[in-house]
Amino acid sequence: MSLQWYPGHMTKARRELIALMPSQDVMIEVIDSRLPKASSNPLIAEVRGTKPVVKVLTKSDLADPAVTRMWVAYLEGEPGVKAFAATTKQPQVTRKRIAELCQHLAEHRGPDKQVRALIAGVPNVGKSTLVNILINRQVAKVSDKPAVTKEQQIVHLPDGMVLTDSPGLMWPKIEHEPRAFRLALAGSIPDTAIDYLTIGMFGAEFLVERYPDLVVARYKLGAVPASAEALLTEIGRRRGGLRKGGVVDLHKAAELLVHEFRGGLLGPISLEAPPIDTRPIESS
């Protein structure tokens, strides 16, 4: 299954990114800590080229902390990349660290020049929340629905950095099915463009295999369900998903599972781990 969702304003956003990138000193790419690879847009990498980038892993309090640490180390092994796992619980730490990383990557600007940074990412990864943290006040509209920001906006940060916030940018067609499912499960694709049962079954299968203890604890189960369908069946029975005759409404159970995952109610979960690092180690 491939997934297509590409609102018209994203074509404009891509053109604007291409036009703006040469004037920027550094890019801040916002990715979801729970799915750093799936939420990293290949179009953004293409537009960035060799420009240095700070990769901010948002929603880190919702992700498996051990896996997030692995991702930060892996990403920092890429040339011109600094990575930081951010949380809304420590906004002052986030502001300080991102400013330091941007300054480090833009050392060529000199101490008396304002660093110009472009912030980009796929929809609903927490980009607007991050902008508000960086400027320490509410300037960007925040929503749990994707594609809320539709126009570029320029803000001046307290430390002197000039930040350009761009709309969330998806690529036209997501061919890789697991990637599409992870993005849908995390909420980067609107619910009107997904089938809850399909996404819920994907999420249930992953959870049973990778985080069985969290599943058992959340839904007060006696044992780990044998399959994704078995988990959804148990959720439906316990959470008001029974139709007449005692038949479980799997669609309703899947919808509940998806929303509980997005809200972090199941516990800290990462949907993907970094690949085994086979990159050569550079000699000093």
Give the per-residue pLDDT at 206: 97
For residue range 143-201, list pLDDT tens digits in order.
455 444 556 678 888 777 899 887 777 655 666 688 889 999 999 887 877 899 999 99
CB contact at 8 A, 1 and 173: no
pTM of the shown model: 0.84
Helix axes 91-105, 127-135, angle to 10 degrees: 90
204-225 confidence digits (pLDDT tens): 999 999 999 999 999 999 999 9
pLDDT at 123: 84
Q: CA angle, 212 as apex, 207 and 214 as ends, to 5°?
A: 90
In a 10 Å sphere around its CB, with 0-12 CB exposed, 13-18 middle and 19+ buried, how is residue 212 labelled? middle
Nearest residue to 168 via CA among 136, 138, 141: 141
Contact of 102 with 54, CB cutoff 8 Å: yes
Q: What is the pLDDT of residue 277?
A: 59
Question: Which pLDDT value is given to residue 217?
Answer: 97
Question: Parallel, antiparallel, or unpaired for β 116-121 and 26-32?
Answer: parallel
Residue 109 has pLDDT above 80, yes or no: no
pLDDT for the residue 155: 82
- The domain spans of the chain are 8-165, 195-262
What pLDDT is recorded for position 265? 97
Q: What is the CATH number of domain 8-165?
A: 3.40.50.300
Taking the CA atoms of the chain, what radius of gyration do you get in angstroms? 20
Beta bridge partners of 28: 54, 119
- pLDDT for position 238: 92
- Name the helix (H) or strand (E) containing 231: helix 228-238
| Strand segments (E) across the chain | 26-32, 53-58, 81-85, 116-121, 153-156, 162-165
Length of the chain: 284
Distances (CA, A) of 99 to 52, 180, 276: 14, 32, 30
The CATH architecture annotation of domain 195-262 reads Orthogonal Bundle (1.10)
Question: What are the start-end ranges of the E strands in 152-247?
Answer: 153-156, 162-165
Pair 134, 109: CB distance under 8 Å = no
Q: Which residue has the higher pLDDT, 223 or 240?
A: 223
Mean pLDDT of 247-251: 94
Asked if residues 162 and 116 have their Cβ atoms less than 8 Å apart, the reply is yes
Confidence grade of residue 2 (pLDDT, cut at 50, 70, 90):
very low
Confidence of residue 140 (pLDDT cuts 50, 70, 90): low
* Mean pLDDT across 22-50: 92
- Per residue in 38-88, pLDDT (tens digit) is 999 888 888 898 999 999 999 999 999 999 999 999 999 999 999 999 988
**Looking at 106-254, which runs of residues are DSSP E strands?**
116-121, 153-156, 162-165
Domains 8-165 and 195-262 equal at CATH topology level: no
